[in-house]
Each structure stands twice: as structure tokens, then as C-alpha cells.
Structure 1
Amino acid sequence: MSDSLPSGSPSDHEPATNSPEEATTTSSTTTTTSTPEGPSPPPIQIPLPWPSNSSVTLDWIQNLISAFDWSSKNLPPSELPSVLPVSVFDALVLTASKILHKEPNCVRIDDCNENSRVVVVGDVHGQLHDVMFLLQDAGFPCEDRFFVFNGDYVDRGAWGLETFLLLLAWKIRLGGDDGGRDQLTGSMSEEKRSGSVRDRENVIGECVFLPQRVFLLRGNHESKYCTSVYGFEKEVLAKYGDKGKHVYRKCLGCFEGLPLASVIAGRVYTAHGGLFRSVSVTPSKRSKGKKNRRIILNSETKPLCLGSLEELSKARRSVLDPPWEGQNLIPGDVLWSDPTMKSGLSPNTERGIGLLWGPDCTEDFLKKFQLKLIIRSHEGPDAREKRPGLGGMDEGYTIDHVVPSGKLITLFSAPDYPQFQATEDRYKNKGAYIVLKPPCFDDPEFHSFEAITPRPAVNAYYDYKDVIDSDEELDLAAMVTST
């Protein structure tokens, strides 16, 4: 089936072999695996070539999965360029970035039908093998299977770069072997261009995955500050050596283009942190022109109130670190805010950025925008341990607010977290993902899963003994807020 991983994938729940022949494979090599049943899967090409005509097919992505899985178990991190050359990294990130930067702040997933399924995923934090299992367990993205990822792809886990690149590969605007290939070149005929998304997909073929099927939202860890504290920057430098700074800068640029939120079937709002404040835009008395508009912020002298989806759509998301002060507060709210059981909207003093919102705010937001469900992430078992009144993260999800108009859910998809704590200090939590089904896509189906073990031996890229587990009480004054 097209939705299955090739043999040797993490779905086997077995560690890869470490034969001398495999351990020394670094260039222009084809590694094959075999199974007792059925045909042999495609060979693993190392190093990975960028596909001809930039047409990333299902076979190419499966090869990427197998190569990342194999290299994580058989090669030192510094050998990643022998698996994924910098030139291939550049092509992948450039192609994905062009698509991401064109997407709105809040993407709307409206082309669901009676055969559609929408899979929502929470924080994954560089736990590559668990992500590969999740993709197999839920089924690969396809015409009728959408994926919405709520951010936090990197940091803490040892394979943040591979995880992020794998998800970008699923996101990429792809081409087929017929007239649909011009999705990249823009040369599609006017008749095909004017057709529906479904028509264009039929032209392109079933092995092509358009951006309208995979949505990557931004998490608070997709930022310069967090990646400098929690390991992603050091991970990239360790893996790409003298090219590491270049690779890191390209990743940061890609992070800036990630959308902030999604609305699924007009019924479900998803974002990494959650809700956000209102900022009023008023024209200057001197002129009603656009250039003279000024932002009136909700300060301590003016009560905070919930923002609107229209305000969200106008926020400026292309910043390395969302500001905690000034005029552009909505991105920081969306990425850093948390729910509470206390009514009202208040500053998130524990984190130093974002908001805390109560059940009344959840009700107001759902009712105002005719929604039934909010799915957010941002809090793992470490954060929830410090949040009295809210549920733990043992199963990978919690239902935090139940109000007349619907529910608020927190979703966390990194099992046995955090990766590098001593066994007795880890939370042994399950990860989870949500499946939304027709007719209304607002009745969540929860799927919890255990971590893939044993994990490959690897060193941490941050000082997990001294750096706090959760994102509270960070030195947010060090965040870069300039454009």
C-alpha cells in the first residue's frame, strides 16, 4: 500500500543492525533491505539526490525516511551531510519556504468532504522515530488525509533537523509526470489552473502531495531564542560543521514563514499556544491614510479583551522572536499563551510573554466565531506538573475546558518526554494525535501511542541538567525583537 513504510522503518520496533558494511557507508551507496513477504522495498540511496525536475514523489520521501532512520542508528551526527548534502537541504528548504511565506497567518482547511480525515499533531520536539511511527500509524498524507501540525518540531530531542526536514518534504509543492508538474514552474494550462484543487490533484496524480494537504504551524520553539537555549542551534552546528551556520540561518528564515493558526472545516481552531488579545488600529487625526494608522494597545490601564480572527490575519508573523512588548503582540500570544481554570484574560507572568485565558474566554471565542473545538499544544507533562487544576499529560492529551459551545483540548505528541532525562526522571507519558472525521469534523478521535524504543544512543545538544524542563521563567529579555 502507498501508506506503508518500507522495511527497516521504525514501525518494526526493532533497532537497526550495525554491520561493518553499513557502518562505513557514506557516499554513492545503495543500501537495500528485504522482507520475507512481498516485493523488496526501494533501495536506500545515500547520499540522497535532489529529485529531477524537483518532483518529490512518495518514493523519494520514503527514501528520506529510511535514510534518516538508518543514519540515526549507524552514523555519528557529523556524518549527516554524507546522507543529506547541503545542496539538497538548500533545495528542500527553499522550495518549502516559498510556499510557507505565501500562506496566510490563519490557514483555512475548507475542502474536506465525506471521505476526508484531518490528523492534528502536537509538539514532537525532535523525536524523529516517534514522528515516523505516528505518520505510519495515522497513514501518510494523501488526497483525503490532511495533516495539521501545531508546531514545536525542534529542540530538546536529538533529531530536530531531520524531523523538520521530513515534514517540509511532505509539505512541498510537488509535480507529477504529466501536465500537473508545472505546479512548480507555473506553466499549467489556463483550463487546468482554473479548476478546483481536487481537479488539479487528479491531473497531478495520486503520488503527489500538494500544500493543501499538509499544514505546518509555528510553535514557540521555532524561534531564534528558544533554539539557542534548547539545543537546535548546537544540533545543526554539530551535524553540518563549517556549513552549520548557513543551515541554521536557512531554518530560521523558514520558521518565520510558518503560519500561526488554522481553522478546519469552519469548526475547529488550532494553534500552538492558543488565544490572543485584541489590538485596535485607529487612523491618525492628521490623515486617514494607511501609512498613518497607529496601534492602540491594551495596557494595564485598559482591560485585556480577546482578539478576532481578522486581527490575527493582519498580524506580522515574520519575526525571529515574537515580541512580548510593543505593537506586534498577537504572534507572541498565539505561540506562548496557556489556558487556566480562572475566568478572564490576564498576562502570562510565569512565562513572561503571552496570556492566560479562562473557560469564559474559550466560550466567547467559540461562540463568536461559530466554532466547536480549540486544539492547542505547547504544554507537555513537565509544564502540566506545575499547573494545578488542569489535567496531566499521561495520555498525550487533556480536555481543559468544557463550555456550552464546545471544548478546549491540549495535545502533546512527544511520548516518553523529555528524551535526555534519566529514566526515573522522565514522565513516561504517551504521545497522542487527533483524527477529525465528517460530517462536522468537530468530534475528536484520540489516538495515544508509546515511544519507539530503544532510542539510538546520542548525546544531548543542551545542558538538560541545568536548563529547566518547561519554558517558564526564561530570560525573555534576551529575545530579539527587531525586524
Structure 2
Amino acid sequence: MGICGTSGNWPNETGAREEIAAHESQTSRPLGIGHRVVYTDMMGISSLGTVSELRPDGRITIRFDSSRWGSADVTSVSVLANSLHVLPLTAHRPTSYLTRVGLETLDERRTLQWVDIGRRSLSRLEAMPLENSRWCKAYRRVWSPSKERYLFHPCSEPLRKGLPVLPEGALTMPPEGGPEDDLQKVPQEFSQFGSFLTSWTGEFARLVFEHCHRRYSESIPCGLLLHMARQSRELFLAEKTVHRICTPQDGKLVIFGDTHGHLKDLVHVWLREGLPDDRTHYLFNGDICDRGDAADRGGMEAVQIWACVLSHKLAFPEAVHMNRGNHEDHHYSLHYGAKGFYGELDHRYAADEAKALKLAFKDLCDSLPLMTVVDEAIVVVHGGLPRFRQGSPNAASLQEIEKIQRPLQVQTHTENRQDQIVTDLLWSDPQEEKGIGPSSRGKSLVNYGPDVAAEFLVAHKLSLLVRSHEVASGCEWWHPFKSAAGSDTVVPLSSQQQGCTVTIFSASDYCGHYDTNLGGTIVLKGSAQSFHIVSHKASDAAATLKSPETTEKVNGSVGEILSVIVQNKGQLLAEFRAADVHPQPSAGSGCLLSTEEFAACCSRVVPELPWQEICSDYAPQLLLHGGSICYLRLLSKYRLAFRSKETEASMRIAMANHLFGSLLRAEGCIRQLQERMEDLTSEEFLMFLADSGCCIPPKQVQMLYRSLALTSSKSMFENFVGALSVTFRQNKASEASRTLDALCRDLLRADPEKPLSSLLLEFFEKGDVDRSGFVKAEEVTSLLRVQPSLQVAPDKELQSLIEYMDVSGTGNISYAALVKGLYIVCRPAVRAGQLSPETLLDDWLEATCSILVFQYGMGTLSGLFQQALAPGETRCSPKVFKHILQALPEIPYGPALSHQQMESLVVSLPLDEDGLFDYQEYLASFEIVDVERTY
């Protein structure tokens, strides 16, 4: 969603597009009190509210037009003008977590933009205001090869059939494609990429990386590169000029310095640290472009680096970040000619293709952020600090830099203040002398000393400045603390920090002078305090690039290897079973694969890892014995669980009530299936349950690996028919359980949607006329007699049930506490090795944790918590946690949490005396455990 302000007094702009430039100055006017604010989404454009207050700190207050956006207590919202923000939970529906919203002035094309970061979908809405303050819709003109003519598509909607004729008065954007300009078409030999152009996924990004690694001399098709450049540009533009990110708590962040077309260094680091995903994030600190490596090690490969980075940015928007460098510049690329990025494009592509790519990358580079703040502790910028030092009357702060509008229209080396700030960020270098000094790079450029760096860090409560821009052997420390005035107030991140500033440079053997410098990256694991610098030699990186397979051993611990296995259990089991010609799950000697078969199966699921080497290095953990691996035992041995046994037990009870309740409701359907089916596989039975309304969604069936692997026959139904009974945990078991079962089945049949606990609560509330929380025994008797199964039941049975529910023995039943103790129990499996509700519950519990940790990722959850809570606050209420779970993004290519799983996560939270929980401790409580280990 994007929101934009306008005064409603625009001149008539319904004519030709040439008139747009005449009003460009009007779009930069600050918003005033009374100006309208509109919002845009997939449904179109409508009014949000009006500006009611302008604050000195640059924030504005928007008063909502209607209660649609606010509530009885919330009628307005405060946002920072000309920046991007997420509206608070109290001011927006919970689903607003899925959307990045912001207040922007219109650019030269009167463009309103929205980016739905939750669903990873992207759209660009381009519109113009009319004289009467209404808005007209703009259309994209796209060439249709099948129709052999242009079709018109609304800019706010994905491509579908399109309109043959443009609506009257509508605007059109520049044409895309054409009969002689079909640049975005993907060639037939790259058809495997074309299927991803409307849905960017991790599989697409992996294919791009494999192509660039193994066939780096072959260019990425122009059409594919155009798609990636144009769509990733919108993602970068949606981020702030000073981009703030966090290191994944359960993963790592890797910071790259200059690569300058050295593909070998990117491939080497990615294979060492892992490809970008929800747990492995990367920050590129500029200078992807220009120059290059030695010819025998790839040469100029900036195109391939861009393809790898952009494909993963589209697949994992929150895992790939980039700052602009001084070489991400249109004029600089022109200056370098054949030795620069534009020269590389001219060499690889036809003239018309190269021209289109140059324009696309110019737009992309002009939209990149200028700085990134990591964990509110490290500031990362390509060159360095502005000449307007802290403590001076004209000091340049992070807040001022954050207000610099993008796409950049800055001319470097000018005397304009904003232009000078941008120039310094991209071009300045550190110096040993204090203060601001001249640069050897040019008379209009500057260097900055240790006191300037210390002042900037202290002023913004930061600990370290990370920059690139200069050749270093991996890294080079600048500005030791003793040389920086006031540096005693700079708090080092760890004992490894040797100064206020560090230069990181990732292109090993820069420009082909063999092993003259190491390549370096900074790796943060879990937080900024854990930073360490990792260096590599050019010869090692070159060997990695030339090898068609990964040449390094996996650096990760056994826990990281087991994490990969636990994360992909469902897919691995399917591969194992397909490769196992004689699976015997119930036999001790069954479910065996040779190491070669095991490695081949794992490689098809997780091709990034060297599984043959893993089988050799981690034989005990993989249960390798006699040259074979028992894959079913391996999958069952390691599982994802809560560190707190109380939390896991509470969640198991909550999920059991949901799952067993849905099985009680489906018992009639299961009986009918039993009568007409002789043999049924576990997978067919599980899909039947999912399709019959069981609370396990169909997409999660493949994650139930134990249930899928168990034997299947008609006797399997014995474990699901009549195996469940209802009880209350605080009461002792009695003969009344049979009557309670009959009551619960009646309630479940009457309402096919609500859970049993809600139905029981409503049942008692009918007899609680004064809403006291208690219901008398005689009232319960009347309610029981209405139920179909109990209408002719003996009075003795009903009296026995009432005595069972009356814990206090006073004749007044505290039904709220009673329902809270509801528990559905299940008898053990009739025969060992059979599918049972208990096994299904174990699988579903682990699937819930796996979706939360691996599908969404702790980084996504942590970011949502930070958006919902006040800065620095870590304690959260269950209500806010529920909103956050509801706001988790949809996963089109994988399973998502169901409503029942979300409810179970919320009710099982470990709350303190204030009814709150610490979300950081909660997210850190997930761990992979060995269930066979004895403690």
C-alpha cells in the first residue's frame, strides 16, 4: 500500500504527457494542514483522511475519514513525512502487518507505489490527479505475441487478458515489448526460468546461481535480467535511504565489500556460508560494477553477480540488502567505457538489449539505499562520512540522510548540500589525522579523521563504522580508540574491535594480480556483538568457481546439518521411500539405504550441500552402520521442539484438543470409509481426513513423516473409531465419561465449525442466566435432556455426569474452570507400527514448530514484534502475539499455519504474573533435540 498527499488544487493535466514536467515543482511541496491523504491498494484509490497537524520533528498527524481505518479510540495516526513506516497495530487492522505503507510526494510521473512485503508480491500503480481532485487509472501497454498487437493492462493489477482498446481519458505508460522489440521474452533454452517470472521463489534463485556458477561464461538472457532488474528496483526503492536491519537471531548476516565483477569471490562465500534464505542474510556494500577479475578466473562478471543477488532479493526480500557504491552510477559507467559495466553489457548483448539493460540498471542503482544500520549498533556505508561533522552548526545527521529522496537525481562534485552529502557517503575515505582533510581522489572530495568517526558514532549511539571503497587485504582497521577524541564513549562491540572504522573488501586478487590481496567479509551470528572477519585467498576462490561441485567441506556444526534434515523431513522421506525398494517400517532391519543412495536423495532436496562428504564426516550422527543408514530412525531421532518442557506440554494439550476434537467430529465419515475400503495407504487416509474437515490442512500432510511411513490396512481404522474420550484434567476418571462423550458428540454434530471447548462453554452459558460464571445442577439437567443422545438416558447417568462436573460438591458448577481443563484422551494404538491419533499429534506438533521456525523464520517474527512493540520493549501480550501470527505472510509454495495451530501457540505461551511473555526468550526456546538421548 502507498499513501500520498495532495491539496486537491492540481491544474488540468488530462492532456499530453509532455505537460507533466511543467508541474514537477508542485509535487515536492510539503503537505499542509487540510491536505487530503489518499491510499492505494489492489482495489484502487480512495481517501484515507486529512492532515490535521504538522510537528516540528517532521511528523504529521492524519485524521481518518471514517472508522474503517481507526476505531472508537483511535481516530488518527502520526507518521514521518516523506518516509516509509508501518502503521501501528492500534491504528490499522492486523493484516496491515503484511503491507509496507508510507507517505511520499509524487515523482516526475505522478507515481504512487505499494509493495506488499508479506506476500512477497509486488505491484506498481501509476496514476495522475485530475482537475476535480479525482484520480484516473494508468495502463501499461504490453505486446501480446499471441494476439500480435498491444493489450492494455491496469498498472495496479497483474497481467491477465488485457484490454484491446484503451479506455477514454486513461494514460498509458511506455510500451513493453513489441513486434520488433521483444526484449523481455525468455529464450526457449531457458524455459525452466520463464515459469518463475510471475512467482519468484527460492528454487528460481537457486537455478540462477547454479547457472552463474557452472556456466558463468554464458550470459543470462536479456529478458530474464530485465525482469529481475525492474522488479527488484521496486523492492529497494521501498526501503529507506538509511535502511535499518537486524541480524537473524537464529542465523547470520554476512557483509560484502567491493566485488567489482569478481564472481569467484561471491560463489566462494555463498558456498561457504550458505545461499541467502530466511536464516542467512547478506548485505552488499556497493561496487558490484566495473573493472573485473583475471580472464582465466571469469574476467568481468558483474552481470552474473547482479543476477545472483537480484534473483535472491526477489525470492527472499528480507534476506538480501544493498548499499549504493560510487560505481553504481550511470555517468561513471559511461566514463569507464569498455572496461566498465556498460562495456560488459555491450560485449554480452545485442545493441538494443544492452540499451534496455543500461536504462533498467540506471533506474535500479538510482533507487538503492545509501546507508544501512545493523542491530542499531553498526553503520555500513560504501565510502564514509559527510564533511558536515557532528558538533558543528551544520552537522549532517542520520535523520537528514534518511530524508534524501530516491530515485537519486544528484550530481556529484557540486556545492549543493544534499549533493555533497551523497558524494561523501560514496567517495570519502578515512585518514589518520583528525578533522576533515583533502582527498587524493579529487579536489572536491574529502577524507575524515578518527575524531569525526567517533563523533558520528557517539551522536547516533553506534559502535562501529563499516565501509569499503578501498583495496584491503580482507580488511583494514582505522581510527584506533586512543587516537579518536571522545572515543572513550564509543562502546566496542567485542574485544575483536580494533578501532572505530573498518574497511572490508571482498574482491580477492583485485583486477588479476594473483593473490596480492585477500578477500574479506564480516559475519555476524545472531547479533552485532558476535561479529568476526573471515578472509579467503584468490586461489581458493578460483578453485571453487571452476569446480562444478562444492569443493569445501561444510563449515557448520553438526547442529546445522541436522537442522537441514529436520527442516526438510517431508521431502526427504518421499525421496527415501522412492529409493527404498523394500521398505519395512515396522521391522528393525527395514528402511535402509546405502550411503550413495542416501546422499543422492538428499542432493535432490538440498543440492547446495556436499552430501557424500557429510555422510563421511558425520557418520555417527547419521546412524551410519555397516554402510547403510536407517532413514526412518534418523528422521524420528532428531526433531524441533521447545526447550521448555512446560511450554511443550501445554501446547501438546491445546493441539490435542483441536486435533482429537476434529477426529471426533469426523468419526461418522471414518466409519463409512471403513465399510467401503479394504486397503488404504497412510497418505490416502490422511488426505481423506484433511478433505473431511480435519484441522490438518492438506498442504501439511507431506510434513507428517512418521504417519506417512507407518503400515496401512483396514485395521488402521481401529485406532480412529471409538478410540477417543473426553475428560476434565482436574477431575478423576469415572463412569460419567461415557455420558460426557455422548454430550460432546451431540455438540460437535450440531456445529461443524467451532472447537469443542467453545461449544461446551456455550452449552453452560445457556443455563447461566445472570452471567455469574456458575450454573446450578438442575439447570444442567434441563440442558442435557435437550441433547439427542441423552433424551432417554437414565436419570442415574445424568446425575453421575453432574456430580463428575461439580468439583466443589456445592451444586454450583464453575464451568469456565471446567472447560479450561477439557482434555480429549486417546487409547494406545491397537497394534505397534499402525497409524494412530497420538502419532498424528506428534507429527502435527513438530510440523507447527517447523513452519514457524523454518518457513517464516525467526527474523520475520522478530521484525514483526519490533514493529508492534515500543522501541526496546521485549515483553508482549498474547493478544498482540495472535495479531502477529495472523499477519504472517502467505506462503504460496509451502504450508502455512492454520487457525488451530495459531490458537495453540497463543494459549501455551509462558506468561509472567503480568500476563506477558518475553518474545526474545520465546523465539530462542526452539531447539533441535535428540529424542533417543538419555539425560
Per the TM alignment, residue 47 of structure 1 is displaced from its structure 2 partner at its CA by 5.5
Per the TM alignment, residue 320 of structure 1 is displaced from its structure 2 partner at its CA by 6.4
Per the TM alignment, residue 438 of structure 1 is displaced from its structure 2 partner at its CA by 3.8
Residue 531 of structure 2 corresponds to residue 444 of structure 1: yes
Where does the alignment leave 5 or more consecutive residues of structure 1 unmatched? 1-25, 30-45, 175-208, 281-302, 381-392, 457-483
Residue 432 of structure 2 corresponds to residue 341 of structure 1: yes
SS of match in other structure, 2:270: helix
* Map 1:43-442 → 2, pairs under 5 A: 46=190, 49-52=193-196, 54-73=198-217, 75=218, 80=219, 84-110=220-246, 112=247, 114-157=249-292, 158-172=300-314, 174=315, 209=316, 211-228=317-334, 229=336, 230-242=339-351, 243-278=353-388, 306-319=395-408, 322-327=411-416, 328=418, 329-380=420-471, 393-394=472-473, 396-403=474-481, 404=488, 405=490, 406=492, 407-419=500-512, 423=513, 428-439=516-527, 441-442=528-529
CA 1:322/1:140 → structure 2, altered by over 3 Å: closer, same or farther? farther
**Higher normalized contact order (CA 8 Å, seq sep 6+, divided by chain length):** 1
TM-score, normalised by the number of residues in structure 1: 0.63
Per the TM alignment, residue 272 of structure 1 is displaced from its structure 2 partner at its CA by 0.3
Residues in 2 aligned to 1:102 and 1:143: alpha-carbon distance in whole angstroms: 19
Per the TM alignment, residue 102 of structure 1 is displaced from its structure 2 partner at its CA by 1.7
Residues in 1 aligned to 2:344 and 2:197: alpha-carbon distance in whole angstroms: 31
TM-score, normalised by the number of residues in structure 2: 0.34
Residues in 2 aligned to 1:257 and 1:311: alpha-carbon distance in whole angstroms: 17
Would you say the 8 A contact 2:216–2:304 is kept in 1?
no
Where does the alignment leave 5 or more consecutive residues of structure 2 unmatched? 1-185, 293-299, 482-487, 493-499, 547-935
Q: Which amino acid aligns with 2:194?
A: W
Residues in 2 aligned to 1:400 and 1:443: alpha-carbon distance in whole angstroms: 20
Q: Deviations over 1:341-369 (max 9, x none)?
A: 01002343533444211000111111111
CA 1:52/1:118 → structure 2, altered by over 3 Å: closer, same or farther? closer
CA 1:116/1:313 → structure 2, altered by over 3 Å: closer, same or farther? same
Residues in 2 aligned to 1:86 and 1:146: alpha-carbon distance in whole angstroms: 27
CA 1:113/1:123 → structure 2, altered by over 3 Å: closer, same or farther? closer
Q: Which amino acid aligns with 1:433?
A: T
Residues in 1 aligned to 2:518 and 2:405: alpha-carbon distance in whole angstroms: 35
SS of match in other structure, 2:216: helix
Would you say the 8 A contact 2:518–2:535 is kept in 1?
yes
CA 1:397/1:62 → structure 2, altered by over 3 Å: closer, same or farther? same
Would you say the 8 A contact 2:187–2:221 is kept in 1?
no
Would you say the 8 A contact 1:306–1:365 is kept in 2?
no
Per the TM alignment, residue 443 of structure 1 is displaced from its structure 2 partner at its CA by 4.6
Would you say the 8 A contact 1:430–1:448 is kept in 2?
yes
Residues in 1 aligned to 2:479 and 2:233: alpha-carbon distance in whole angstroms: 35
Residues in 1 aligned to 2:274 and 2:301: alpha-carbon distance in whole angstroms: 22
Q: Deviations over 1:193-224 (max 9, x none)?
A: xxxxxxxxxxxxxxxx2x22211111100002
Task: Name the structure where helix makes up a greater proportion of residues.
Answer: 2
Per the TM alignment, residue 91 of structure 1 is displaced from its structure 2 partner at its CA by 1.4
Structure-2 residue corresponding to 1:196: none
Residues in 1 aligned to 2:378 and 2:411: alpha-carbon distance in whole angstroms: 24
CA 1:322/1:122 → structure 2, altered by over 3 Å: closer, same or farther? farther
Which region of structure 1 is more displaced relative to structure 2, 60-69 or 117-126? 60-69
Q: Which amino acid aligns with 1:251?
A: F
Per the TM alignment, residue 165 of structure 1 is displaced from its structure 2 partner at its CA by 2.1
Q: Deviations over 1:102-121 (max 9, x none)?
A: 211110014x4532422111
CA RMSD of aligned residues (A): 2.6
SS of match in other structure, 1:453: helix
Q: Which amino acid aligns with 1:236?
A: L
Structure-1 residue corresponding to 2:877: none
Residues in 1 aligned to 2:215 and 2:410: alpha-carbon distance in whole angstroms: 32
Would you say the 8 A contact 2:197–2:227 is kept in 1?
no
Would you say the 8 A contact 2:470–2:503 is kept in 1?
yes
Per the TM alignment, residue 95 of structure 1 is displaced from its structure 2 partner at its CA by 1.1
Residues in 2 aligned to 1:371 and 1:93: alpha-carbon distance in whole angstroms: 33
**Percent identity of paired positions between Structure 1 and Structure 2:** 26
Q: Deviations over 1:55-100 (max 9, x none)?
A: 2222222211222234334x5xxxx2xxx33222221111101111
Per the TM alignment, residue 319 of structure 1 is displaced from its structure 2 partner at its CA by 3.4
Residues in 1 aligned to 2:235 and 2:187: alpha-carbon distance in whole angstroms: 31
Residues in 2 aligned to 1:69 and 1:321: alpha-carbon distance in whole angstroms: 36
Larger Rg: 2
SS of match in other structure, 1:418: helix
Would you say the 8 A contact 2:431–2:447 is kept in 1?
yes
